[in-house]
């Protein structure tokens, strides 16, 4: 809901490029955003807006949703992308505070917090896969 794309689509709607968006029905799927961009592109070619704010916003959003726009044009709906990799290391040298008798805790709001001293590493990745084949990484 806090994505940078929503204010951009709001601006396109205010400029009259997008008229069929349901603003109260968020979050939108990426394919819905691509459909809205197709509508904006059709309106911009009809109005021949030139070098105004609308074409700049459209170009930025079209770059973000280029894969989805190509799927609307008939490209196959298959692919895998790596979104992020992360790692976090923590080392506790003394006895950690982990009960409610103390004012604070050694690691707050962490379900994986260490119950004793030592080294702790949390690593992972996020991916996006689409297509007909279902697979999992264990």
Which whole-number Å values give the CA distances from 58 to 33, 71, 74, 110, 121, in the listed order?
11, 18, 21, 40, 42
For the stretch 74-110, pLDDT in tens is: 888 777 888 899 998 877 777 766 666 666 555 655 6
pLDDT at 65 over 70: yes
Omega into 67 within 30° of 0, i.e. cis? Answer: no
CA 68 to chain centre: 14
For the stretch 2-47, pLDDT in tens is: 889 999 999 999 888 888 888 778 888 888 999 999 998 887 765 5
Domain boundaries, the chain: 5-72, 79-130
């Amino acid at each position: 809901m806090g994505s940078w794309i929503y204010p951009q689509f709001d601006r396109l709607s205010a400029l009259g490029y997008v008229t069929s968006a349901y603003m109260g029905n968020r979050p939108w799927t990426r394919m819905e955003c691509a459909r809205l961009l197709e509508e904006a592109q059709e309106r911009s070619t009809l109005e021949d807006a030139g070098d105004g704010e609308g074409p700049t916003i459209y170009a930025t959003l079209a770059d973000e949703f280029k894969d989805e726009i190509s799927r609307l044009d008939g490209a196959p709906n298959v692919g895998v992308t790596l979104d992020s990799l992360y790692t976090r290391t923590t080392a506790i040298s003394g006895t950690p505070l982990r009960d409610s008798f103390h004012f604070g805790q050694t690691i707050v709001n962490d379900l994986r917090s260490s119950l004793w001293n030592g080294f702790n590493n949390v690593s992972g990745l996020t991916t996006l896969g689409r297509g007909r084949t279902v697979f999992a990484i264990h």
